[in-house]
Every structure is written in structure tokens, then in C-alpha cells.
Amino acid sequence: MFTPSLLKDRVALVTGGGTGIGLAIAKRLGELGASVAFGSRNAEHLEQGSADLRHAGLDPLAVQVDVRNPEQVDEMVQRVIRHFGRVDILVNNAAGNFISRAEALSPNGWDAVIGIVLNGSFYCSRAVGRHMIERGAGGSIVSILANYVWTGSPGTIHSAAAKAGVMSMTQTLAVEWAKHKIRVNAVAPGPIESPGAARQLWNSPDAVARITQMVPLKRWGQPSEVADAVAFLVSEHAGFITGEILTIDGGAWLGRGTFGFVE
Ligand code: HXC
Ligand code: NAP
């Protein structure tokens, strides 16, 4: 199914594509033939991400952007269009997160996460969607959520609310833009090994052990496993799938049942 020419002649833009899961997605889409652009704030992430992608044989375009700023987002999309001629695939991957009790969270802390995840995903979808509609050749958008869209997430209320908002945006755009042949989907990962998330959310061996125990498959996911799911969703193999949320979490969000069959 994943032939090396699966995404040939397609142009993909991945936000937050210089690190972690976003980098794995950019790499996977590039390996499958897409031209790849990514956006990020931090110069070091732009440089290191570009170097990693070049090492994989790709020729990426790296654009400095804060997705909270709609003008910067519009400019990023225009740069990608000037460079590669168009955008066929958008992956809303950029995110911010940290642990805080809800009652201790400051308005700025709330705004920082809502701004990156919810507003940023909308600004990017709007800019790329306008381009896709004008071009008339369709396209595909995938947003990276988290498995706690199904449950809420005590300790990260800002991220849980923002990701649930992006889930609703996904379902809404899937219907609104279907007539333009734009498919809009999302993936909802559980614990995935990624240094950025580890710094913010599970910075101790105890936390890592506790989280591993919560996953029925008793392991963490790899960024490449999220990337494979995104590659499937943006490909022709998922041509009739839109408005879908694909959970990638080793069963972590499901209940444990009533009868004690779970270690
Ligand atoms: C409490 C915090 C805080 C913390 C920041 N703030 N970190 N409050 N605990 N650990 C507060 C600040 O005090 C400030 O409020 C406000 O948030 C904005 O902080 P800044 O540092 O000025 O924001 P900024 O530089 O814009 O950075 C945004 C950020 C940062 C979200 C705070 O962490 C970031 O850039 N993160 C990007 C990388 C990241 O988070 N990756 C993890 C994704 S993992 P005051 O009131 O003091 O001004 C993920 C996985 C989830 O999402 C799923 C797991 C299953
Ligand atoms: P990460 O490496 O910290 O990725 C976050 C990326 O977003 C960084 O590259 C960061 O780059 C970029 N970013 C943050 N704020 C930005 C802004 N304002 N403008 C532009 N880019 C911005 O962590 P990750 O684990 O790979 O997370 C990637 C995605 O997976 C996120 O959507 C996250 O919520 C989701 N996810 C992760 C897990 C997990 O277990 N790791 C689980 C579920 C969901 P800059 O700092 O350079 O801007």
C-alpha cells in the first residue's frame, strides 16, 4: 500500500515539523514522494529539522512562523505556494502543553495553549483551505489531536479543550468543504515517545512507568506509527474517509471493564 510514489507530485505543509511527531510525519510524507514544507518558531528547530529531512534525502522548505499569528500563517502558506506551486496536504501538528491544576492556570497560560492548538489549527486550515478552494483540485487536511478528546484530561484542561475544539473543527470542515473535494480528518494519539512532550508532561521515570502501565499494549507509541496513520489518511487509500478521528493509543483510552480481567 505504501509504495514510494504514493504521494508523488503532492505538496505537504506540516506545522511543528521540526521536532518529534511532526518531523516523523514530514519525513514519512517526503519518503512517499511528497514535497515537504514545515513551519516552526524556533530557529534551532528549523535548522535541525531541515538537516534531518535533508539527511533522509529530501529538500524541505522551512518557514519561521508562530501559528497564533494569522498574518504570519497567511505569509507561510504564500511562501510554500511560491516555492512549490501549491499545497495539497496540511498537517496541523504544532502544539503547546504543560501540566497545571485548572484553578492555578493563569489566563495567559490558557491563552498560550488555546492560541497554538485551536486558533493556530484554524488559521492554518483557513489559509490552506482558501488556496485549495481557489485552485479547485481538492486536498487533504489532518490534525493531530490527543486520545483525551474522548475523556477530558485532568491536569491539562487547556490542551483537552483545545483538542476537542479541533476535533469539532475537523467534523465541521469535512462537511463544509466536501464539495471542494477537500477531505478533513484527525488522529488522536496516546503516549508517544517524543522529547518535546516528555519535557513538558512526563519528566520523571515514575511518570513514564505509571503511563506505560495505563496502556493495554504496555508500551509507548513511536512517532513513525503516528506518521504512518497520517500518510494513510492523506493518501488515495483513504479517498472516502472524511470527518474521521483515528485513535492511536494501544487501547489506552478504553475502559478496563467490570470483571477484573486486566492486569
Ligand atoms: C504553569 C505555565 C507553564 C507551566 C507556561 N506557563 N508554562 N504555567 N506551568 N509549566 C504559563 C506562563 O507562566 C505564562 O503565563 C503563559 O503560560 C505563557 O507562557 P510563555 O512561556 O510566555 O509562553 P510561550 O513562550 O508562548 O510558550 C508556549 C508554551 C510552551 C505552551 C507555554 O510550553 C511551548 O512553547 N510549548 C511548545 C512545545 C510543547 O509544549 N510540546 C508538547 C506537546 S505534547 P503568565 O500568567 O505567567 O504570564 C502534547 C501531548 C499531549 O500536546 C498528549 C499526551 C497524551
Ligand atoms: P513537540 O516536539 O514539542 O512538538 C510541538 C511542535 O509544535 C514543536 O515542533 C514546536 O516547534 C511547534 N510549535 C509550538 N508552538 C508553535 C507555534 N506557536 N507556532 C509554530 N509552531 C509551534 O511534541 P510532540 O510530542 O512531537 O507533539 C506533536 C503533536 O502531537 C502535538 O499536536 C501534540 O499535541 C500531539 N500529541 C503528542 C503526544 C505525545 O505523546 N507525544 C500525544 C498526543 C498528541 P517550535 O517550538 O519551534 O515552534
Instruction: Answer whether residue 138 is part of any domain.
Output: yes
Asked if the structure places residue 258 within a domain, the reply is no
pLDDT score at 97: 98
Q: Is residue 139 in a domain?
A: yes
Query: Ligand 1 in contact with 141 (CB < 6 A)?
Result: no
The verdict on residue 26 lying in a domain is yes
- The verdict on residue 255 lying in a domain is no
Give the separation between CA 131 and CA 139, rounded to whole angstroms: 10
- pTM of model > 0.85: yes
Q: 132: exposed, middle or buried (C-beta count within 10 Å: 0-12, 13-18, 19+)?
A: buried
Q: Is the pLDDT of residue 1 over 90?
A: no
Where does the pLDDT of residue 263 fall: very low under 50, low under 70, confident under 90, or very high at 90 and above?
A: confident
Find the DSSP H helices in the chain. Answer: 20-31, 43-55, 70-84, 107-114, 120-135, 157-176, 195-201, 205-214, 223-234
- Round to whole Å and give the CA distance between 115 and 35: 28
> How many structural domains comprise the chain?
1
Distance 21 CA to ligand 2 centre (A): 7
Residue 37 placed within a domain: yes
CATH, residue 37: 3.40.50.720
Evaluate whether residue 260 is within a structural domain. Answer: no
**Given 123, 148, 220, 232, which residue is catalytic?**
148
Dihedral, 256, 248, 218, 49 alpha carbons, nearest 10:
-150
- Give residue ranges with CB within 6 A of ligand 2: 15-16, 18-22, 39-42, 45, 65-68, 93-96, 116, 144, 146, 189, 191-192, 194, 196-197
pLDDT digits (tens, 9 = 90+) for 155-175: 999 999 999 999 999 999 999
* Any atom of ligand 1 within 6 Å of the Cβ of 97: yes
If you take atom 5 of ligand 1, which residue's CA is the nearest one? Answer: 109
157 domain-assigned: yes
Which residue's CA lies nearest to atom 1 of ligand 2? 196
Among this protein's residues, is 123 annotated catalytic? no
| Domain extent for 104 | 11-250
36 CA to centre of ligand 2 in angstroms: 17
pLDDT digits (tens, 9 = 90+) for 182-212: 999 999 999 999 999 999 999 999 999 999 9
Tell the residue nearest (CA) to atom 27 of ligand 2: 21
* CA–centroid distance, residue 156 to ligand 2 (Å): 15
